[in-house]
Structure formats: structure tokens, C-alpha cells
């Protein structure tokens, strides 16, 4: 299954540790031990699908989020998160509305740019005419991805660059 191979690639680059505060890092810690089993994988997918619903339980500070996988046929290439609103406080200002992650072997092939472009009408459909997108100051590929999609620089907060992007 290409999803598991992709997760092995992420783990090989150091993802999933206690210092990995990304969605993928949290998923490794919560579901990684069981997602290689049919029941564990099903539980993981059900959790992701439920995150879009307002009534779903989630940790404090987390907001409803549509989670989509980017595929090429059966091949898992990455993940797209569309937060339906900014998380409260500093977390929302640092994480923004849209996040994307491309598996290591699929990077530098235009997938992130295509993923962000595909996210724009989906974000509009959940009521977001404009979205905040952030990236680490030293993440040049992500900055270029955001700018290619029309992101307008909105300064810096800590180690994050911030951009606003119209969805319509």
C-alpha cells in the first residue's frame, strides 16, 4: 500500500517524533502503530473524515478540518488540510487555513503547487473567501508554492512567513 510506503519515507526523514508538531507527526503517534492493519487503517481514515464535522471531538485549540489525500492513481503523494476557520490564538496565526505535505519521493514535481491550487475552491466552498497560509522562513520551496498561487506576503510571526490568498 503506497500510503504505508509514504509514511516510511516520512519516518526516514525524522517525522513522527515528539518534536514533530505537524499533523503527520500527530498521526504517527496516535495511529502509526496500528495503521498497517485493516482495522487500524480504517479507524485512522474514519478519524480523518470526521475532522471536517463541527461536532467531532478534537483536542483543545483544533478546528474543523477537511483532510484530503493527493493521489496519482493508487499512489499516495501527499496530504492537504483545509481548516474551516483559524484556530484560536497564536496557533491560528502560525498554522493558517491551509496546510499541505508532499511525501519525500514526490517532492519538486509540482504537486504542492497543484495541491494548493486545488484547495482554493474547496476553501471557498466552506465559506473562506480569503485564506491565511504560512510556511517556515527557511522553506523556500513552500514560499514559492504559495507565491505561484497568488499568495500576498503579510509579514512574519516568529519563524513563520504569512501570506493571504484569495480563494475565489
- Report how far residue 98's alpha carbon sits from residue 100's, in angstroms, rounded to the nearest whole number: 7
Angle between helices 2-12 and 23-31 (to 10 degrees): 110
Contacts of 30 (CB under 8 A, 6+ apart): 47
pLDDT of residue 137: 96
Residue position matching grid coordinates 471557498: 124
- Residues of the chain with pLDDT > 90, as a percent, come to 83
The helix (run of H) or strand (run of E) holding residue 7 is helix 2-12
- Residues of the chain with pLDDT > 70, as a percent, come to 99
**Cross-strand partners of 164:** 132, 152
Helix boundaries (H) for 36-138 = 38-50, 89-95, 111-125
Give Cα separations from 16 to 6, 24, 117, 154, 163 (angstroms): 13, 7, 27, 30, 27
Write down the mean pLDDT value for the chain.
Answer: 94
- pLDDT(1) > 90: no
pLDDT classification of 92: cutoffs 50, 70, 90: low
Beta strand pairing status for 75-83 and 65-72? Answer: antiparallel
Residue position matching grid coordinates 495503521: 35
Amino acid at each position: 500500500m503506497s500510503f504505508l510506503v509514504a509514511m516510511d519515507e516520512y519516518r526516514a526523514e525524522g517525522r513522527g517524533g515528539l518534536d514533530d508538531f505537524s499533523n503527520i507527526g500527530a498521526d504517527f503517534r496516535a495511529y502509526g502503530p496500528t495503521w498497517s492493519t485493516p482495522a487500524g487503517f480504517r479507524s485512522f481514515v474514519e478519524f480523518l473524515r470526521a475532522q471536517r464535522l463541527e461536532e467531532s471531538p478534537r483536542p483543545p485549540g483544533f478546528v474543523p478540518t477537511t483532510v484530503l489525500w493527493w493521489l496519482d492513481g493508487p499512489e499516495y503523494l501527499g496530504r492537504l488540510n483545509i481548516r474551516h476557520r483559524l484556530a484560536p490564538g497564536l496557533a491560528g496565526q502560525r498554522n493558517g487555513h491551509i496546510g499541505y505535505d508532499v511525501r519525500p519521493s514526490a517532492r519538486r514535481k509540482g504537486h504542492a503547487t497543484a495541491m494548493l491550487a486545488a484547495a482554493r475552491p474547496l476553501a471557498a466552498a466552506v465559506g473562506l473567501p480569503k485564506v491565511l497560509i504560512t510556511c517556515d522562513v527557511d522553506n523556500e520551496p513552500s514560499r514559492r508554492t504559495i507565491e505561484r498561487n497568488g499568495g500576498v506576503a503579510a509579514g512574519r510571526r516568529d519563524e513563520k512567513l504569512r501570506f493571504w490568498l484569495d480563494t475565489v
